[in-house]
With several copies, the nearest count.
Chain A
């Protein structure tokens, strides 16, 4: 078998291909995930899917690649009806979908992940690992990433794991359709730019490209058209520039959001020092110090791997704190575990929803309530089901979590709705210091804007909020002050007023103007 990318590409160049969905419906118990979907996607253009959490975007992609079977309707590739029973059949026909949740094999190497199931081998099935590494290296170079094909994926940061996923889909021969389901949720700017270069290349090669994201600026930059979904229904497709972003959002959310950052109630007083971190280090991060004041939203920015997550984990005792001290309200505290931190009033919403957030097999209610055991029980440790219902109902309502019942298994929610449950869990605990690590990952614009107001309201009540986000507009828009990290150390800080994307980016890359100037 030969593995060259150029050959099948030639075929595709001959004519533009079309993907047509005809009356596709898909049901889950209690949910209409897709309702009579009809539209077309054409090669050579990037089509965005836009819709609220739970609108059915991911489900449609899973129907497309044969993971789910539609209950009604069919889809046609170049006019030919397709019925894929397995993802394998879809892949054979040139359809690749990159899932919202990483589907990666931690114990295998980068090359093995990229060529999973189609490693170069001789007739006897004996693998040629050197060739695989060479081929993988070429793709890695195409992407311009500093990783080795032999590295085990578990030793990579989440961002690079995500890039491996993308390379896996990209590297498939005979590629006709490629779909990205929120690919940038865990990427930082530089990776996003390299992803966009790849997408532009694919576009030139005349592929059908579907791109799902909740980040409006991205859609503006990379997509040509936008298909809007609402409650499982297809609404319309508009070309970029045809309608304003505002109108687009209105189509999907059903109301006008305005400028989410400008409309925030930032009018609050920043008080005395609430949290002071002195020379904290761990096995994963060097010594760092900073202060957080009452009523302050403190942003943390940096490239992937800068150590933001690790610093916070050390503070709350999730990782062993090697050196340093933490003071809360002037009192020294010692967090040996996240439980200690929680008892002290510091909570962390983790970035990795799948591994560190959701409790698989448990219901939405169980997931939201798990940090509220003390509050929801009496002095004998007996739970009050009424209180549990209430917390869950409140979370579901406040975050507008789309679920037919609080008893639904969390794994059956859409990605964004899972994320909302996780955030709701920690908000319910009423902390003094709220640390949010990529909290809006996968959350739709409507919910995001509500979430932003909620953060501001918290700050106004005198809480301290630490916000780690790779979405620069979000950090800049929300934070009163932004700390920049690079190579496991804090390298600088800017105030809300002086923060610009360029400045933060250059500090994250070069190491901070304050220090070097």
Chain B
């Protein structure tokens, strides 16, 4: 009899846990719905297929970088070099192609370079024990310099048809860049949530020493995350160049901040060890939808800064209040049970 009650309690506890996790992202989802309703009511074209595709295209590069940041920030790392690296990669690939190196080898060379940058970042963090924030600030400066240097500061036009096609091609109405992002979200979301590698990222972010003592290899995992980020920036930069029809050394400034903001909005914490890919997806959607909407409904440009800040603050505050409430409820429940 007693055993049965315990069982039941256990179950209802489980239920409440499941509900809580499902509800984890309630605020974000709510905000997205509100944003869509609001902007659509002002301009009905906001909720059109074209706009949603636009929105996804605009999100495609920052989305890839956000995947990298989701991994890195959960692992209690960070990366400020993606903007420079994406610009460098796009410029390099355009340059190689313009030197009549075929498209595929150009891509491979570019990706190899991008991966090397990731390795370099990892080495600074792992070997010289630099804080990732400052280490990747170094890379940011150096790579931006190299992006300008290799093309003498001038955008490199792309005329290779295969390269241009990459920027234009669609499959089921959806551009390649968006497909890449969607597939990456699914694959890396799965890896993060369900695999040993994914879980080890949470472990080293939660407590690097504990993870090491349990037999994990934090340095290796951190290296993989940085190299992944390098590759995402490389791929994203190449596709971006294809979309713009030129490799642009000055492009993608602040890319990393847009990505980090989305990731944090999605519930990843700078202290490491918490967060999900689903949250990042919602964060990206919210920010992109909001940004596009502001232009569409013609909010004066200066007010857009304010609106963006206010949205971020509002979403984070609501999330905090919801969590506080849940905590209080759980507490009250456990006091009653005691």
Contacts and interface: CB of A to CB of B under 8 A. Distances in A.
- B is a partner of A: yes
Interface of A: 25, 27-32, 35, 65, 67, 71, 86-88, 91-92, 97, 99, 103-108, 112, 116-119, 121, 124-127, 148, 150, 168, 283-284, 286, 307, 318, 337-339, 341-343, 347-348, 350, 355-362, 366, 369-371, 373-374, 377, 380-383, 404-405, 407, 425-426, 429, 487-488
A339 B217 contact: yes
B203 to A, nearest CB: 5
A103 B210 contact: yes
Given A86-B212, A371-B214, 12 more contacts: A29-B334, A87-B212, A103-B210, A105-B210, A117-B211, A118-B215, A119-B199, A121-B195, A356-B213, A358-B206, A361-B273, A366-B202
A32 B338 contact: yes
Contacts of B327: 29
B127 to A, nearest CB: 14
A337 B212 contact: yes
Interface string B285-296: 000000000000
B210 A358 contact: yes
A350 to B, nearest CB: 5
Interface stretch (B10-18, B61-69, B82-90, B236-244): B10-18
A355 B209 contact: yes
A357 to B, nearest CB: 6
A61 B271 CA distance: 28
A126 B198 CA distance: 9
B202 A28 contact: no
Contacts of A108: 199, 202-203, 206, 273
B199 A127 contact: yes
B142 interface: no
Contacts of B197: 125, 381
A355 B213 contact: no
B17 A127 contact: no
Which 10 A-B pairs give the minimum distances between C-beta atoms?
A: A361-B273, A359-B206, A29-B330, A103-B210, A342-B215, A105-B206, A88-B215, A116-B214, A125-B195, A381-B196
B195 A126 contact: yes
Residue from the set B10, B194, B210 with the largest chain A CB neighbour count within 10 Å: B210
Contact of B338 (A25, A87, A150, A358): A25
Residue from the set A356, A361, A374 with the largest chain B CB neighbour count within 10 Å: A361
A425 B214 CA distance: 8
Interface in B188-206: 194-200, 202-203, 205-206
A168 B333 CA distance: 30
B195 A67 contact: no
B331 interface: yes
Given A91-B215, A360-B207, A362-B273, A148 B10 contact: yes
B273 A360 contact: yes
A71 B194 contact: no
B274 A117 contact: no
B216 interface: yes
A370 B197 CA distance: 11
B272 A355 contact: no
21 contacts: A27-B331, A27-B338, A88-B212, A97-B213, A106-B207, A108-B199, A117-B200, A117-B203, A117-B211, A127-B194, A286-B338, A357-B210, A358-B207, A359-B210, A362-B202, A366-B203, A369-B199, A371-B215, A381-B196, A382-B195, A426-B214
B263 to A, nearest CB: 16
Interface string B129-173: 000000000000000000000000000000000000000000000
B335 interface: yes
A30 B13 contact: yes
B209 A103 contact: yes
A147 to B, nearest CB: 11
Interface string B309-338: 000000000000000000110110111011
A377 B13 contact: no
Nearest to A90: B215
Given A121-B195, A127-B196, A377-B195, A105 B211 contact: yes
A241 to B, nearest CB: 35
Contacts of A126: 194-195
Interface in B226-270: 269
A359 B271 contact: no
B274 A107 contact: yes
A155 to B, nearest CB: 9
